[in-house]
Amino acid sequence: MQILRCTPKFFDVTYVINPYMEAGLGNINKTKAQEEWDAMTKIYDELGVDYKVIEGQEGFPDMVFTANAALTFKGPNGEKNVLISNMAKEERKGESPHIEKWFREQGYQVHKLPEHLSCSGTGDILYNADRSFLWGGHGFRTQPETHREVERITGLEVKSLRLVDPWFYDLDTCLAPITKEIALCNIMAFDEASQEVIRAYFTDLIELTEEEGRNFTCNSHILADRNLIIMNGRSPRVIQALEARGFQIRVSPTDEFLKAGGSVACMKMTLI
């Protein structure tokens, strides 16, 4: 598996587009942010995770959260395809041309959404562990109609889930499908119908407290084929629960990035 990361050179909190950013505004220690990013690099290097890096661009302080920029998928003959996000928030729209250029240079077939539909990329569209379908969040950054368009473009079913709590504005803030059975979840972040869908699918649902959720515990990097999870380490109880299920945990602190409302999962995009 390969991932795409973005350098934090221009990372900052200069506007508020989610509830976490209010406190983060003008309050970023950039040296510390760079150190956290470097420590994450060290973990990926030690683990031998294959990553590509795109340069952050001036004026786009959230570009470090590459998860939101696109969704990659395989074409019918295994071709590399990408759906570039239409970001919902005006402040982030300008990231897309940089991302699109990068994917074109890498030889991806590029797809786009109609202008009137927004999408938060792999922030709101998550692969199920067996990659046979997608989980789609809607309510804040992505519309249900976007899911139907994603189905048409990728050929994969999208199981739509409705998000109802602004503190959990992207699906990757409140759901982490780990295996076909196990998931981390902040169940109250979903409407009742979606809660039922989640409970019916995952036979071993690890439910998180509000506080664990707001510490971005779901926002972890799952390397299920290696029984490994990279997380920011703020929820010891959940680390224990995962270790008890046979997972190895690597802790990569993301304190500065949490002030922008993002953590480990947001800071990478899975590449096909």
| Closer residue to ligand ARG, CB minimum distance, 34 or 227 | 34
Among the residue ranges 59-67, 132-140, 152-160, 189-197, the one whose residues contact ligand ARG (CB under 6 A): 59-67
Among the residue ranges 2-10, 69-77, 143-151, 254-262, the one whose residues contact ligand ARG (CB under 6 A): 254-262
Q: Give, as ranges, the residues between 7 and 26 that touch ligand ARG (CB under 6 A).
A: 17-18, 21
Q: How far is the CB of 66 from ligand ARG (least distance, A)?
A: 9
70-74: strand order across its sheet: 70-74, 80-84, 109-111
Q: How far is the CB of 107 from ligand ARG (least distance, A)?
A: 25
**Contact with ligand ARG (CB under 6 A): which of 10, 28, 56, 68?**
68
| Closer residue to ligand ARG, CB minimum distance, 62 or 100 | 62
CB atoms inside a 10 Å sphere around CB 167: 16
Among the residue ranges 2-10, 62-70, 109-117, 185-193, the one whose residues contact ligand ARG (CB under 6 A): 62-70
**Contact with ligand ARG (CB under 6 A): which of 100, 170, 212, 256?**
170
State the Cα–Cα distance between residues 212 and 185, nearest whole angstrom.
Answer: 10
> For residue 111, which of 146, 154, 141 has the smallest C-alpha distance?
154
CB atoms inside a 10 Å sphere around CB 248: 13
Q: How far is the CB of 89 from ligand ARG (least distance, A)?
A: 6
CA angle 153, 157, 161 (to 5 degrees): 110
**Contact with ligand ARG (CB under 6 A): which of 65, 73, 202, 247?**
65
Binding mask 184-223 for ligand ARG (x = CB under 6 A): ----------------------------------------
SS3 per residue for 17-78 = CCCCHHHHCCCCCHHHHHHHHHHHHHHHHHHCCEEEEECCCCCCCCCCCHHHHEEEEECCCC
173 contacts ligand ARG (rule: CB under 6 A): yes
State the Cα–Cα distance between residues 6 and 271, nearest whole angstrom.
Answer: 13
State the Cα–Cα distance between residues 236 and 243, nearest whole angstrom.
Answer: 10
172 contacts ligand ARG (rule: CB under 6 A): yes
| Closer residue to ligand ARG, CB minimum distance, 93 or 245 | 93
Number of residues that bind ligand ARG (CB under 6 A): 16
CA angle 211, 224, 216 (to 5 degrees): 15
- Exposed/middle/buried for residue 186 (C-beta within 10 Å: 0-12, 13-18, 19+): buried
* Helices (H), ranges, the chain: 21-24, 30-47, 95-105, 144-154, 192-201, 210-214, 236-244, 255-258
Q: How far is the CB of 172 from ligand ARG (least distance, A)?
A: 5
| Interface residue list for ligand ARG (CB under 6 A) | 17-18, 21, 62, 65, 67-68, 92, 123, 170, 172-173, 260-262, 266
